[in-house]
A and B are shown apart, each in its own frame.
Chain A
Amino acid sequence: EDKVVQSPLSLVVHEGDTVTLNCSYEVTNFRSLLWYKQEKKAPTFLFMLTSSGIEKKSGRLSSILDKKELFSILNITATQTGDSAVYLCAVDVWTNAGKSTFGDGTTLTVKP
């Protein structure tokens, strides 16, 4: 059974802090790992990672994948209150099923 585990489950920081969110996985026929941000409503896509060691970056957010150790991290630097959200990690596999396995998410709260 495919498994995705995120840590920590929740995190409270102050504006300006840097945070690192973790996602480890155990799946068969790995295809890609995706990060989503969920603020109250629908998850929105952040990054898709398929290759080890290649950092994806968007503003203050960055992410990297380690396919040997089976994990990914999402970094957020200089956090702002608008970064408060649930961050979801999902893993896709190479089947014709087309379905992702999601972790339980990390709830990030950024205090002013």
Chain B
Amino acid sequence: NAGVTQTPKFRVLKTGQSMTLLCAQDMNHEYMYWYRQDPGMGLRLIHYSVGEGTTAKGEVPDGYNVSRLKKQNFLLGLESAAPSQTSVYFCASSDRGVNTEAFFGQGTRLTVV
């Protein structure tokens, strides 16, 4: 009963390095999201996808790219990491049916030094 799985759980990057965060869901949800959460703040939407092969920008997309090649996977890429991208990243999915609740992964704590 996995739900939404994120990898990795922790990562430390040097400024300028690149990395990809992977999100996988097994609930056959159409909608997937990437959020970042900074201390004392709620969740801010980075990018989202309304179906396989589609992506769109959220509230804070700069410095990130995403891809949704398969329905169950949503990848978040950082091409050139900056200290301002130090944050906790959450992936979520939803079926947007009658119940619009989102199901969240356990988060990835990323530190950029």
Q: Which positions in A face B, CB cutoff 8 Å?
A: 4, 6, 9, 31-32, 34, 41-45, 48, 88, 90, 92, 96-100, 102-105
**B105: A residues at CB distance < 8 A:** 42
Most buried by B among A45, A88, A97, A99: A99
- Chain B interface, number of residues (Cβ within 8 angstroms): 27
**A48 and B43 in contact, given A41-B107, A96-B50 (Cβ under 8 angstroms):** no
Is the beta-carbon distance between A42 and B107 smaller than 8 angstroms? yes
Given contacts A4-B42, A32-B100, 10 further A-B contacts (CB under 8 A): A34-B101, A43-B43, A48-B99, A90-B102, A92-B100, A98-B31, A98-B96, A99-B45, A99-B48, A100-B45
Q: Which positions in B face A, CB cutoff 8 Å?
A: 4, 30-31, 33, 35, 40-45, 48, 50, 56, 58, 90, 94, 96, 99-107
Q: Is the interface of A mostly helix, strand, loop or mixed?
A: strand
Is the beta-carbon distance between B42 and A104 smaller than 8 angstroms? yes
Is the beta-carbon distance between B100 and A34 smaller than 8 angstroms? yes
Query: Given the complex of chains A and B, what is the CA–CA distance between A45 and B107 in angstroms?
Result: 16
Of the candidates B40, B43, B56, B99, the one whose C-beta lies within 8 Å of that of A97 is B56
Q: Closest B-chain residue to A35, C-beta based?
A: B101
Query: Given the complex of chains A and B, what is the CA–CA distance between A105 and B53 in angstroms?
Result: 32
**B94: A residues at CB distance < 8 A:** 98
Query: Given the complex of chains A and B, what is the CA–CA distance between A48 and B95 in angstroms?
Result: 14
Most buried by B among A31, A41, A43: A43
**A42 and B90 in contact, given A34-B100, A97-B50 (Cβ under 8 angstroms):** yes
Q: Closest B-chain residue to A10, C-beta based?
A: B40
Min distance, Cβ B23 to any Cβ of chain A, angstroms: 12
